[in-house]
Amino acid sequence: MVSAVVCQETQSARDFLRSLREEIQCHPGVGHSLLGRMLTDPRTRHDFKILASQHYPLVANFTTYMELLLLRAPSSEAKRWLAKVLVDEYGERSHGDDHAASYRAFMHAAGIAPGSEASYPLHPEVVGFIREHYRICTQEPFLVGLGAVGPGHEWSIPTMFEHVMTGLRKAGFAADDMTYWAMHLDQDADHGAWLEEALVAFCETPEAREQIRRGALLSLKAREQFWWGVLDKISSERTKAMLPGVAPATAGAEDTQPTYADLRQGLEIRVDLGAVSDIL
Ligand SMILES: [Fe+2]
Ligand SMILES: [Fe+2]
């Protein structure tokens, strides 16, 4: 029989998770104007090519954040959710194609030549997103990392991707081109549900809840900045196309921006596994 105290704690954990979900849904990183205005301010195929060139590094690094966090997880219970999601990321439910490969298929449909996916100059906010997530997953407490890759991603992606798919349909992409986006509506709904069950056990104390919420909000703050970066790239390309001969304010900025290939090459990551007493 479950005691009244345990029921109360579980209830209160569920209340916390419900309010966190609501907070995430209302966050400007999830409802950014670039996403929410796909019908009123439609985007072209070329705009999506730019979006894809900037978004690819986020897709390609996501599993590494989770693998690093897996190394630091304090118990097998904590590892279980991460491992289940990773198996999907490696292609379990996408015909053996990992999610980065599936994203590359979308990039090719958007006009990016196969083999050139990692050679686009990245906006500083794209680089900032990736560096911030490596920092969170290696230097912050484990639950802050779990908040970032857990609620910060799984509970926000279905809403963001619904908006993107609205824009892709409007721009004339076929259903086959949108496989990466569509599969996340289903898979992340599952990941989010598994996550909720896992988090109930982890958010028993106010300190633990604060860490999970902080991780989610750090991730979404970086996400909001990421979308501003993508919009900045799209706007400067439009200015160039509409006003030939007029240099946009950002002219020359790309000369010094790293590509994803440069960024990955220069990444050095240190992981502190913690004391043995933390896992006993
Ligand atoms: Fe994914
Ligand atoms: Fe997911």
**Residue with structure tokens 């990955």?**
264
- State the pLDDT at residue 278: 60
How many angstroms separate the CA atoms of 159 and 31, rounded? Answer: 8
Question: Taking the C-alpha atoms of 214, 267, 110 and 177 in order, what is their torsion angle to the nearest 10 degrees?
Answer: -60
Reading phi first (left if > 0) and then psi (alpha if -120 to 50, else beta), residue 63 is in alpha
3-state secondary structure of 94: coil
- State the pLDDT at residue 5: 55
Q: Which residues of the chain have pLDDT under 70?
A: 1-11, 248-251, 275-280
Structural domains of the chain, with CATH: 35-270 (1.20.910.10)
Could you tell me the distance, in angstroms and rounded to a whole number, from the CA of residue 271 to the centre of ligand 1? 23
* Residues with C-beta atoms within 5 A of ion ligand 2: 154, 188, 191
Cα 47 from chain centroid?
Answer: 20
> Can you spell out the DSSP letters for 107-138?
HHHTTPPTT-TT-SPPPHHHHHHHHHHHHHHH
In the numeric block, which tokens belong to residue 223?
A: 């996400």
Please tell me the number of the ligand nearest to residue 62's CA. Answer: 1
- State the pLDDT at residue 196: 85
Could you tell me the distance, in angstroms and rounded to a whole number, from the CA of residue 61 to the centre of ligand 2? 13
**Is 203 within 8 Å of 19 (Cβ atoms)?**
no
- State the pLDDT at residue 240: 80
Could you tell me the distance, in angstroms and rounded to a whole number, from the CA of residue 101 to the centre of ligand 1? 10
In the numeric block, which tokens belong to residue 46?
A: 């070329």
* Residues with C-beta atoms within 5 A of ion ligand 1: 99
Could you tell me the distance, in angstroms and rounded to a whole number, from the CA of residue 183 to the centre of ligand 2? 10
Sign of CA pseudo-dihedral 271, 218, 160, 24: positive
In the numeric block, which tokens belong to residue 79?
A: 């590892």
The type of residue at 240 is: K
- State the pLDDT at residue 97: 86
R_g (Cα) of the chain, nearest Å: 20
Could you tell me the distance, in angstroms and rounded to a whole number, from the CA of residue 254 to the centre of ligand 1? 28
3-state secondary structure of 168: helix
How many angstroms separate the CA atoms of 167 and 156, rounded? Answer: 17
Could you tell me the distance, in angstroms and rounded to a whole number, from the CA of residue 244 to the centre of ligand 2? 42
